[in-house]
């Protein structure tokens, strides 16, 4: 509750962690909205996604990031790591998300990246629903905090939203005093055009095999609002001619499936009827091509 004696707070929070630990699921749970795309595959998130939570006592700008990972061979991977490293620098509070009560070298490396920034770091132990023996959580937390100076530890099931409200309260307390920077009804700084491309990419991640999703990028060519319907045209870029047929499928069945699922996601998020048309085109080795990365919105 906000009274005259409790100041309003505003600040930025970066969600940081290894790929696939549930950062985007957590962002969505905090927002109460499917803003950031989520799939069972690592490296689903390729951008810095801002989600804005507005409450009476605080406005919280949440930054979802691609997971920090070691492989940096392709230009795209290099770019993903760059985005993931930048967010903590601009944030006031950091949330290190991990997958259950497990700590490995990658987490140690992430801690070493965050600690020197001198900002409060919260540890969010996610996916606790997968754990039969919950007592392990307490011994784990005691052990990790003995060696690492976290400002707090939270146990979450982001998928169900468990623990998320308490985490938000804790974050709000740690933010600096300040006026809200965004309008009350603003929930992101991203355009619908961008969000539409992401929803197509989510279906590519979900419906294509293990390797192919990483060879695809989505570019919106048409985005037209009319009174009754929004018309969206998107190009799915692949890296080789042979990949085109796989995305399209026999008699276009796969592309149709991708299109209708993505369209449903858009209608839900935009709260409007959407007409979506998809094309598949080849851009040789785009993920290692600086000009293509720029064209597809992966670099500024
Ligand atoms: N069991 C379980 N799975 C989760 C939870 N949170 C996220 N996931 C799943 O973990 C996978 C990766 O989630 P995502 O949010 O994309 O992770 P990110 O790469 O860190 O952004 C998805 O399949 C999610 O549904 C959770 O609390 N419990
Ligand atoms: Mg993600």
Q: Write the CATH number for 79.
A: 3.40.50.300
24 Cβ inside 6 Å of ligand 1: yes
* Pairwise pLDDT comparison (104 vs 211), residue with the higher score: 104
The answer on pLDDT for 93 being more than 60 is yes
* 287 touches 53 (CB < 8 A): no
Residue 283 lies in a domain: yes
The answer on pLDDT for 296 being more than 60 is yes
**Hey, which of 38, 130, 214 would you mutate to test ligand 1's pocket, going by the most ligand atoms within 8 Å of its Cβ?**
38
The answer on pLDDT for 286 being more than 70 is yes
Last residue of a domain, one of 115, 146, 174: 174
Output the average pLDDT for the chain.
94
Residue 233 sits in the same domain as residue 138: no
25 Cβ inside 6 Å of ligand 1: yes
163 Cβ inside 6 Å of ligand 1: no
Mind giving me the DSSP string for 69-88? -S---SHHHHHHHHHHHHHH
Residue 68 confidence (pLDDT): 85
Residue 205 sits in the same domain as residue 168: no
Distance 250 CA to ligand 2 centre (A): 31
Residue 25 sits in the same domain as residue 168: yes
100 Cβ inside 6 Å of ligand 1: no
Residue 1 confidence (pLDDT): 53
19 Cβ inside 6 Å of ligand 1: yes
Atom 22 in ligand 1: which residue has the minimum CA distance? Answer: 40
Over residues 218-233, the mean pLDDT reads 96
Residue 198 sits in the same domain as residue 168: no
Among the residue ranges 72-76, 89-93, 155-159, 279-283, the one predicted with the least confidence is: 72-76
Atom 19 in ligand 1: which residue has the minimum CA distance? Answer: 20
Last residue of a domain, one of 174, 203, 218: 174
What's the number of domains the chain is made of?
A: 2
Residue 71 confidence (pLDDT): 65
Q: How many of the other CB atoms lie within 10 Å of CB of 278?
A: 21
| Percent over 90 (pLDDT), the chain | 88
* Pairwise pLDDT comparison (76 vs 216), residue with the higher score: 216
Residue 109 sits in the same domain as residue 222: no
Q: Which ligand is nearest to the CA of 46?
A: 2
Residue 206 sits in the same domain as residue 82: no
Whichever domain contains 228, its CATH number is: 3.30.300.20
pLDDT of 3-53, one tens digit each?
567 899 999 999 999 999 999 999 999 999 999 999 999 889 999 999 999
pLDDT of 149-158, one tens digit each?
999 999 999 9
Residue 78 confidence (pLDDT): 86
The answer on pLDDT for 186 being more than 70 is yes
Residue 181 lies in a domain: no
Last residue of a domain, one of 144, 174, 204: 174
Residue 252 confidence (pLDDT): 96
Residue 152 sits in the same domain as residue 213: no
* Pairwise pLDDT comparison (155 vs 214), residue with the higher score: 155
Residue 4 lies in a domain: no
| Percent over 70 (pLDDT), the chain | 98
Atom 9 in ligand 1: which residue has the minimum CA distance? Answer: 22
pLDDT band at 76, cuts 50/70/90?
confident
Residue 84 confidence (pLDDT): 87
pLDDT band at 278, cuts 50/70/90?
very high
Residue 246 lies in a domain: yes
Residue 197 confidence (pLDDT): 97
Q: Which domain holds residue 159?
A: 9-174
Q: How many of the other CB atoms lie within 10 Å of CB of 96?
A: 26
Contacts 24+ apart (CB under 8 A), 77-83: 79/293, 79/298, 79/299, 80/43, 80/46, 83/46, 83/47, 83/48
Strands 9-17 and 152-155: unpaired
């Amino acid at each position: 509750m906000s009274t005259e004696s409790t100041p309003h707070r505003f600040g930025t929070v970066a969600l940081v962690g290894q790929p696939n630990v549930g950062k985007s699921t957590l962002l969505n749970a905090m927002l109460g909205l499917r803003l950031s795309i989520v799939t069972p595959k690592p490296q689903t998130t390729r951008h810095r996604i801002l989600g804005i939570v507005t409450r009476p006592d605080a406005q919280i700008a949440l930054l979802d990031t691609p997971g920090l990972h070691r492989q940096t061979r392709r230009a795209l991977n290099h770019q993903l790591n760059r985005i993931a490293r930048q967010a903590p620098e601009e944030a006031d509070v950091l949330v290190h998300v991990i997958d259950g009560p497990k700590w490995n070298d990658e987490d140690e490396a992430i801690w070493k990246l965050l600690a020197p920034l001198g900002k409060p770091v919260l540890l969010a132990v996610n996916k606790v629903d997968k754990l039969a023996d919950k007592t392990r959580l307490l011994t784990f937390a005691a052990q990790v905090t003995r060696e690492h100076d976290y400002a707090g530890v939270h146990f979450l099931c982001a998928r169900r939203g468990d623990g998320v409200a308490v985490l938000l309260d804790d974050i709000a307390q740690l933010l600096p005093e300040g006026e809200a920077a965004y309008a009350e009804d603003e929930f992101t700084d991203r355009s619908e055009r961008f969000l539409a491309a992401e929803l197509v990419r989510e279906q590519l991640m979900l419906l294509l095999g293990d390797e192919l999703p990483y060879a695809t990028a989505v570019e919106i060519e048409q985005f037209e609002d009319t009174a009754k319907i929004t018309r969206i045209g998107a190009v799915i870029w692949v890296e080789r001619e042979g990949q085109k047929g796989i995305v399209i499928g026999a008699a276009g069945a796969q592309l149709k499936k991708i299109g209708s699922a993505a369209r449903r996601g858009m209608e839900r998020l935009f709260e409007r009827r959407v007409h979506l048309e998809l094309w598949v085109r080849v851009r040789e080795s785009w993920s290692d091509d600086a000009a293509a990365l720029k064209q597809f919105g992966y670099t500024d």
